[in-house]
Amino acid sequence: MATSKVLGYLESRKNLTGGACGLLGLVLTFTGVAGPYWPVVVAGLYGAGALIAPPERPAPPTFPDPSAQLDAVREDFAKLGGYLADVDLPPALGTRLTELTGLLAALLEPGWVAEVLAQAPEGVHTLSRAVRQDVPEAVDTFVRTRWWTRLTPGTEPPEHHLERQLTVLHEEAERLASVLRDAEARRQESHTRYLEDRSQ
């Protein structure tokens, strides 16, 4: 621990700046300017250099960029697909879930779609939340509630809630796709205006 602190100081800006100023003191000594007080001059210049050196600052933490985040979401989406394949859903709900996962898969498709999505951090967050939280929780609560409903018939069917949840999630994914489409449309319009202005 102490050794690392010493090594850290030796590599610090304060020591390097002080050392450069101390070398200037030695130059003054060899040219005869410092005279008999050269140790004080060298030490003083070293200290002054160490004091004026900019302080060390810790490096800011690095976080994965949106593209790397999307790679992680894709991996989790594959896990989600394995989980959903083992869940027994009524045909209508299975179709609704397939529509949702198909839309999520299209949004997570590597390539230019992912490049557009990577420029929209909120969109990455929306997809991440849907894959890692919303869809698995909706399906899992349906499975557990359906088991209890069999023990207590006459209550509201859990299928109604799952259908509503999947509808909301599908609408949310459609809104995200619409935002991305609009962004590309604006980009196309901007390029058209640029070309038209250039030709004038």
| Two structure tokens written together for 85 | 């394949």
**33 has a pLDDT exceeding 70:** no
Asked if 87 contacts 139 with a C-beta cutoff of 8 angstroms, the reply is yes
**15 has a pLDDT exceeding 70:** no
Asked if 149 contacts 184 with a C-beta cutoff of 8 angstroms, the reply is no
Please tell me the distance from the alpha carbon of residue 183 to that of residue 96, in angstroms, as a whole number.
Answer: 27
Asked if 21 contacts 11 with a C-beta cutoff of 8 angstroms, the reply is no
**111 has a pLDDT exceeding 90:** no
- What is the model's pLDDT at position 115? 80
Please tell me the distance from the alpha carbon of residue 157 to that of residue 173, in angstroms, as a whole number.
Answer: 25
As a whole number, mean pLDDT of residues 49-75 equals: 75
Residue 185: other Cβ atoms inside 10 A: 10
pLDDT in tens, 86-101: 998 999 999 999 999 9
Please tell me the distance from the alpha carbon of residue 106 to that of residue 127, in angstroms, as a whole number.
Answer: 11
What's the mean per-residue pLDDT of the chain? 82
Q: Is 107 exposed, middle or buried (0-12, 13-18, 19+ CB in 10 A)?
A: buried
- What is the model's pLDDT at position 105? 94
As a whole number, mean pLDDT of residues 108-136 equals: 87
Radius of gyration of the chain (CA): 32
For residue 1, what pLDDT band results from cuts at 50, 70 and 90? low
What percentage of the chain's residues is helix, strand, coil (to nearest 5)?
A: 80, 0, 20
Angle at 153 between CA 152 and CA 155, to 5 degrees: 90
Letter string b/e over residues 128-165, b meaning 16 or more CB atoms within 10 A of that residue's CB: bebbbebbbebbeebeebbeeeeeeeeeeebbeebbeb
Among the ranges given (12-21, 82-91, 157-166), the one the predictor scored with the smallest mean pLDDT: 12-21
């359906």: which residue's tokens? 146
In the chain, % of residues over pLDDT 70: 81
